[in-house]
A and B are shown apart, each in its own frame.
Chain A
């Protein structure tokens, strides 16, 4: 990343990789982005968190020069995404929500094609393609048509295609949605490796856990506005550190369990639709163990007990007072 600093005199004054000021975008009468302000530091990962229709994909597509903003300024490494789109394109890469690889070609053909379009000779393109297939654990699938790939393989190929020439910024639009846990972890490993190599990453996700795992900073978007912006630590301070979920062997004991949990944690308890389950927000994690002890002292048999990340819904509940409601607006952006 040091080399970047000398590359372009004036453009590099800015410390940030991305600067967004009062970004607005509408589709017809639907206002999708209502004044977004963002800043992403170099070499860091920013997670855009929000439900469907919040404006995540629209934001990321504008950053990657695929959509034009209606108003506001968007600068990537000091270059305006509208005025200097080509300069931005040379530095960024996007992995879209819908796999941006060619189904009807094989894995290697896809990578060779992208490498060619970036300016490699046929020979260099093949060498680079093989190198990437190896790095992304896709060697066995080299000559298989992509339409026969699993979701995880396709996603990996997609990311591989995005880094044929290592970009300075990589945009990942919901990189793990629809993936099984193992594939999801593989994608996370890849993202961590990218960060270790100095790449700036912006990803969108609907999962707080994913943001927690990877992000240096989290921005929560809802209905086209930013409702929270901070580190995961700061965010947890405002929404509580997590949720305790308890499942009882005997549903009859739920009222008593509810009373014990409420007393121990000092919060109100949520009765789940499952008649033997209940949950509660935790502010002080130290009380969690005591809760379990108190339940067993009262003779209540617990079959399942977990302390989990607050779900996106709970985050929204804490921040806005109402649960997240996904809309179809985001689909228009496709």
Chain B
């Protein structure tokens, strides 16, 4: 094997390689923003290369909206038309909250691959990996939200808050989804396999969405449940999203939703980063 140097082996381009190796000065460390944007770009490229992964953010909202509107509409509000006014803002929050779980799945798959070693050996601002992925997910959340809103409009949803109200509601919702993602991201780091990540995230997301004011007015619930509902961040976000869409928003409602989101970030972002730093460096 050592004796034969067949000419069919097209050697690597020697001179070009030498030129490529000539050390340019190393650029200075990228800013936190530049690194995050790079990871967001990476997330978008993946959507571009595998558009099928948008299946969940289009089909899932359609399914949820249709199912709950027609399932509960008659029983809860007397008619589908009336229930839709109540439900659409809630189902919007629910859909986006549930889709945000996939962030954890994606991260979990990512971490097990060699590329993560490469990331960890580069001297950039570490949280960028997660922040960037979450920013990239904003595109998915927006898409899912648009699907729900358009479908809602078809079903007779008429937001009194107008276009402006809907846009503000969306902005708030995206911020909340970003905050919520940190929980899933943390789970994605802590739990070894994809299957168990999926299981734990689903378990966590059910009480989060159902024990809220998404489907029914909490007034109808037993008092202990009302307490749970009132501390559930989802409830505050749903209230604010409804307020924006129906044009009845109060500054108190906005504050409550923002505080709920900021608290999530304050707790889970540092935890996630802590686990991320210590991942595999035992």
Contacts and interface: CB of A to CB of B under 8 A. Distances in A.
Interface string A194-218: 1011010000000001000100000
Given A94-B118, A131-B20, A66 B123 contact: no
A190 B17 contact: yes
A193 to B, nearest CB: 5
Interface stretch (A113-121, A248-256, A267-275, A293-301): A113-121
A163 B21 contact: yes
A100 B118 contact: yes
Q: Which of B22, B28, B41 has the most CB of A within 10 A?
A: B41
B49 A66 contact: no
A186 B18 contact: no
Contacts, number: 150
Q: SS class of chain B's interface: helix, strand, loop or mixed?
A: loop
A167 to B, nearest CB: 9
Contacts of B158: none
A134 B9 contact: no
Interface string B103-130: 0000000000111111111111000000
B280 interface: yes
A181 B1 contact: yes
Interface string B214-228: 000000000000000
A136 interface: yes
B34 to A, nearest CB: 7
A66 B281 CA distance: 6
Nearest to B119: A117
Interface string B49-79: 1100000000000000000000000000000
Interface in A68-105: 68, 86, 89-90, 92-94, 96-105
A64 B121 contact: yes
Contacts of B114: 96-101
Contacts of A29: none
B38 A113 contact: yes
B9 A182 contact: yes
B117 A100 contact: yes
B26 A90 contact: yes
B32 to A, nearest CB: 12
Given A102-B115, A145-B49, A89 B122 contact: yes
Interface in A141-174: 145, 156, 161, 163, 165-166
Given A100-B115, A113-B38, A135-B13, A197 B19 contact: no
7 cross-chain pairs, A with B, having the tightest CB-CB distances, nearest first: A119-B27, A100-B114, A135-B20, A100-B118, A98-B114, A116-B38, A135-B16
Given A100-B116, A135-B21, A166-B23, 4 more contacts: A113-B38, A117-B119, A135-B16, A209-B2
